[in-house]
Amino acid sequence: MVDTKTIAEKIMSTKSGIDAHAGQIVEAEIDYVMANDVTAPIAFREFEALGREPVRDKIVLIPDHFVPNKDIASAEQAAEMRRFVKKYNLKNYFEVGRGGVCHQVMVDEGFAAPGRLIVGADSHTCTYGGLNAFSTGIGSTEAAACFAEGRLWFKVPESIKVKVNGKFKEYVSGKDLILKIISDIGVDGANYKAFEFCGDLQNVSISDRLAVSNMAIEAGGKAGIFPCDKLTEDFLKGRVRGEYTPVAPDADATYCRELEYNLDDLDYMVAFPHLPENGKNARDVVVTIDQAFLGSCTNGRIEDLRVAAKIIKGKKIHPDVRMIVVPASTEIYNQAMDEGLLKIFSEAGAFVSGPTCAACLGGHMGVLAAGEKCVSSTNRNFIGRMGDKDSEVYLAGPAVVAASALTGKISVP
Ligand SMILES: CC(C)[C@H](C(=O)O)[C@@H](O)C(=O)O
Ligand code: SF4
């Protein structure tokens, strides 16, 4: 029989030891299970109830959402993480100031790599598809089971093939591409499906791929997977832990849907409240803003900071706007410092902080009051996401966030 597998089907087959196709239920060996300060404490309680020893080397714990602790409840969560780490002598723990947003740490620290099956108790675990991994979000109780077993059951997803042609215009980015895709197919357009990207991917940087894969879940996607190419290999050099196996699809693999995008035609997108599918061309909108947030697992990478700094350099943030810049990880923070980017932001009048999820989910450092509007490089603009239920979040790429911070209204560079 000719083999006709997508990347998702291939990774699921390898990890389960079964010739797996879409629709089948498999039990698969996972490479890593990640949890953060919000989801790990619940997983710990479930795990302890099982009375088992953990699969130490596969567990990665990263406090990021409410750290540095913003109140007593978050301090208790983080303390519970530390106790668990000490009790079981876990190595893969990234303390505040030595880590950052969990998904970026998974990338920086070389856990994410081609062919791997990675689960995480956070919905944006799909980010590592940018590096040819099958990665997906799970619940805390599933994470507890993974702590004990190192395995989990999956329904092998069907895949949507997304072919990209051409090249991004200057400052247009992966964020604009994924906002366009979600505005075309809707927030449930990829429910339980894996996106599989192909085409002129040499023109799509790893940073852009990670941003695209990060938001696969915003269309309901189980995963968003790019192939492994020279850009991937170069990125992984000196970073990746252990060996990895690139996975390519078969030429005659079966897809449930095919989409095609020409990057030359793609323009700046902005997703209006209160869903990521409400994408519009950023040139066509008139929206006054109170806050501009640059950060998160979607667009808090060095490439995003460079673009924003280039636009902001030597200028001043609009007097009616608070700009908040939060590099996604310590590695990025240090690099941004070396490159003088943090100084550019600070001198322009932005607030710059060390890595954390910050304003992204309305936890701390940029919570919005009623009626306030924020243009944000993050991935969700649900009601109340960043604060009061009557505040509004407009999702955009780093260039639009930076340009808007200068003008006080949603603008393109
Ligand atoms: C807190 C966490 C469970 C949540 C998620 O799963 O995505 C958060 O990271 C988010 O972005 O909404
Ligand atoms: S940065 Fe935002 S989207 Fe990413 S993990 Fe943190 S809260 Fe979730």
Average pLDDT value for residue range 287-300 = 99
| CA dist., res. 252 & res. 332, Å (int) | 40
Domain harbouring 193, CATH code = 3.30.499.10
The pLDDT confidence band at residue 3, using thresholds 50, 70 and 90, is confident
Complex ipTM > 0.90: yes
* Ligand 2 centroid from CA 72, angstroms: 21
- 14 exposed, middle or buried (CB, 10 Å; 0-12, 13-18, 19+)? middle
**Residue 361 CB less than 6 A away from ligand 1:** yes
Do 331 and 403 have their domain in common?
yes
The model's pLDDT over 116-165, given as tens digits with 9 standing for 90+, comes to 999 999 999 999 999 999 999 999 999 999 999 999 999 999 999 999 99
How far is residue 76's CA from residue 278's CA, in Å, rounded to a whole number? 37
Mean pLDDT, to the nearest integer, of 263-270?
98
Please give the distance, rounded to the nearest whole angstrom, from the Cα atom of residue 121 to the centre of ligand 2: 12
Is the peptide bond preceding residue 68 cis, with omega within 30 degrees of 0? yes
Identify whether residues 30 and 69 lie together within a single domain: yes
- The answer, yes or no, to whether residue 58 has pLDDT greater than 70, is yes
State how many domains the chain has: 2
**Three-point CA angle 311, 216, 295, nearest 5°:** 30
Closest residue CA from atom 10 of ligand 1: 361
Are 48 and 149 contained in the same domain?
yes
Smallest Cα–Cα separation from 66: which of 288, 376, 367? 367
Ligand nearest to the CA of 103: 2
Smallest-distance ligand from the CA of 297: 2
User: Nearest ligand to the C-alpha of residue 120?
Assistant: 1
- The yes-or-no verdict on residue 272 having pLDDT over 70 is yes
Q: Which whole-number Å values give the CA distances from 270 to 26, 63, 173, 180, 401, in the listed order?
A: 38, 30, 12, 9, 10
Q: How do residues 63-109 score in pLDDT, each as one tens digit?
A: 999 999 999 999 999 999 999 999 999 999 999 999 999 999 999 99
CA proximity to 220, closest of 262, 275, 176, 170: 275
Q: Is the pLDDT of residue 304 over 70?
A: yes
Position 2 scores a pLDDT of 63
Quick count: other Cβ atoms within 10 Å of Cβ 276? Answer: 24
For residues 158 and 77, state if they share a domain: yes
Residues 102, 133 within the same domain? yes
- Looking at the structure, do residues 256 and 313 belong to the same domain, yes or no? no
Which atom belonging to ligand 1 lies closest to the Cα atom of 102? Answer: 9
Q: Which ligand is nearest to the CA of 217?
A: 1
Report the alpha-carbon distance of residue 155 to residue 290 in Å, rounded: 43
| Residue owning the nearest CA to atom 1 of ligand 2 | 296
Whether the bond between 274 and the residue before it is cis, its omega within 30 degrees of 0, is yes
* pTM over cut 0.90: yes
Flag whether 126 is marked binding: no
Does 360 belong to an annotated binding site?
Answer: yes
**Greatest extent of the chain over all pairs of C-alpha atoms, in Å:** 66
Q: Return the percentage of the chain with pLDDT > 70, whole number.
A: 100
What is the average per-residue pLDDT within 331-351?
98
User: How far apart are the C-alpha atoms of 280 and 264, rounded to whole Å?
Assistant: 17
Q: Are the C-beta atoms of residues 255 and 336 closer than 8 Å to each other?
A: no
Examine residue 149 and state whether it is found in any structural domain, yes or no: yes
Percent of residues, the chain, with pLDDT higher than 90: 99
The boundaries of the domain holding residue 242 are 7-261
Ligand 2 centre from 327 Cα, in Å? 12
CB-ligand 1 contact for 38 (6 Å cutoff): yes
- Span from the CA of 46 to the centroid of ligand 2 (angstroms): 23
Q: Is residue 342 situated within a structural domain? A: yes
> Which residues, including other chains, have CB under 8 Å from residue 25's CB and lie 6 or more apart?
153, 154, 155, 156
Where is the domain boundary, 212, 235, 261? 261
- Whether 2 is covered by a domain: the verdict is no
Query: Ligand 1: which of 124, 140, 215, 379 to mutate, judged by most atoms within 8 Å of the beta carbon?
Result: 124
**68, two tokens:** 């540095």
Domain boundary (261, 296, 324) is at: 261
Same domain for 315 and 366? yes
CA of 297 to the centre of ligand 2 (A): 6
User: 246 and 177, same structural domain?
Assistant: yes
pLDDT at 232 exceeding the cut of 60: yes
Tens of pLDDT along 18-56?
Answer: 999 999 999 999 999 999 999 999 999 999 999 999 999
Residues facing 351 on adjacent strands: 324
Q: Does residue 1 sit within a domain?
A: no
Question: Average pLDDT, whole number, for the chain?
Answer: 98
Centre of ligand 1 to C-alpha 357, Å, is: 10
Same domain flag for 287 and 163: no
Residues 275 and 365 grouped into a single domain: yes
Residues 232 and 274 in one domain: no
Best residue among 60, 104, 296 to mutate for probing ligand 2's pocket (most ligand atoms within 8 Å of CB) is 296
What spacing in Å lies between the alpha carbon of 296 and ligand 1's midpoint? 11
Same domain, 226 and 277: no
- Residue 167 has a CB neighbour count (10 Å cut-off) of 15
